Amino acid sequence: MRIRRVSVLIDGGFFYKRIKAWPGVDRTDPAKVADAARYMCKRHVQKLIGEQKDQKDQQDSRWLDHVYRLFYYDAHPYEGTPHHPFMNRQVKFAETEEARFRRELFDHLRKKRKFALRLGSVIAEKRSWQPYDRYMKDLLKIWHHAEYLRGVLEDPSQMDQAKSAAALKALEAWTGLPEDGIAYPLRQKGVDMRIGLDISTMTLKRQVDTVVLVTGDSDFVPAAKMARREGVEFILDPMWQSVSPDLNEHVDGITSGLDKPTQNGGLDMPADPN
């Protein structure tokens, strides 16, 4: 039997957002999320080597023999301590639930055979808090009433009952903004670069003959084109999300390692996936 050399590269941020489409995966449990990531890799390799999903004896599965490496890309949790303007205290990002979850997830992935972590960093884009996008539409409505409010403050005789009622309603969006309605603007740095470098390195060193990339980001088109020019089969897994025509054009196939999500959404994973 031909031994393939396969690498599966998972864009961790994309994977974690998309996995919510499968309700059977507990996104609050780092171990379950790590198992789902590895199971997805397993199914991709099994498809490539013609091994059946429902193989009875899991010990007969030789899928790992065909794996060069399984990569998971993400970023170290942010560890800054900015001052929250509403709570009037410092927020220790390193001690948040999200940071703890990510560290535990990374630990579980490190323990899985042939998995390699590629971690970038998280930086603060600006040193100020900003409302979430879902609040911005209502918050910006006050702008339309600014001139009227300025005029009333300068000359109370200009007050109009209907205009005042509309202005107060717009102002309520600001007074009703919850403490958790603002976010500290953070951005991942170095993650996409690591994905591109690994694709290039494995391709030019002839370490793989097939790359499976789990993402929905068209930024990787140049890397995909380069790999294909060098004879590497390049497969995209957008986890059942639609992809841009540009991305679709420059891959050898689009498939998913997971069954299409349903309302029940469970994953048929063994308790201890091999």
Residue 139 exposed, middle or buried by CB count within 10 Å (0-12, 13-18, 19+):
middle
Are residues 141 and 115 located together in one domain of the fold? no
Q: Is the pLDDT of residue 268 over 80?
A: no
Helix (H, G, I), strand (E, B) or coil at 70: strand
**pLDDT tens digit string along 18-46?**
999 999 899 999 999 999 999 999 999 99
Q: How confident is the model at residue 196 (pLDDT cuts 50, 70, 90)?
A: very high
| CA neighbor of 115 nearest in space, from 19, 8, 240 | 8
DSSP secondary structure, 6-41, as one string? EEEEEEHHHHHHHGGG-TTS-TT-HHHHHHHHHHHH
Cα separation of 62 and 48, whole Å? 12
**pLDDT tens digit string along 78-105?**
998 988 888 888 889 999 999 999 999 9
- pTM for this model (two decimals): 0.84
Give how many domains the chain has, as a whole number.
2
Where do runs of H (alpha helix) occur along 111-190? 133-139, 146-154, 161-175
Query: Would 273 be classed as within a structural domain?
Result: no
Are residues 26 and 119 located together in one domain of the fold? yes
The pLDDT score that the predictor gives to residue 266 is 55
Are residues 163 and 197 located together in one domain of the fold? no
Q: Which domain holds residue 140?
A: 130-181
Query: Would 123 be classed as within a structural domain?
Result: yes
Are residues 236 and 248 located together in one domain of the fold? yes
Are residues 175 and 188 located together in one domain of the fold? no
The pLDDT score that the predictor gives to residue 271 is 53
The pLDDT score that the predictor gives to residue 58 is 54
Query: Would 262 be classed as within a structural domain?
Result: no
Could you tell me the CA-to-CA distances from 42 to 105, 222, 227, 257 in Å, in that order? 18, 26, 22, 8
Are residues 83 and 14 located together in one domain of the fold? yes
CA dihedral 75, 77, 83, 87 (to 10 degrees): 120
Query: Would 108 be classed as within a structural domain?
Result: yes
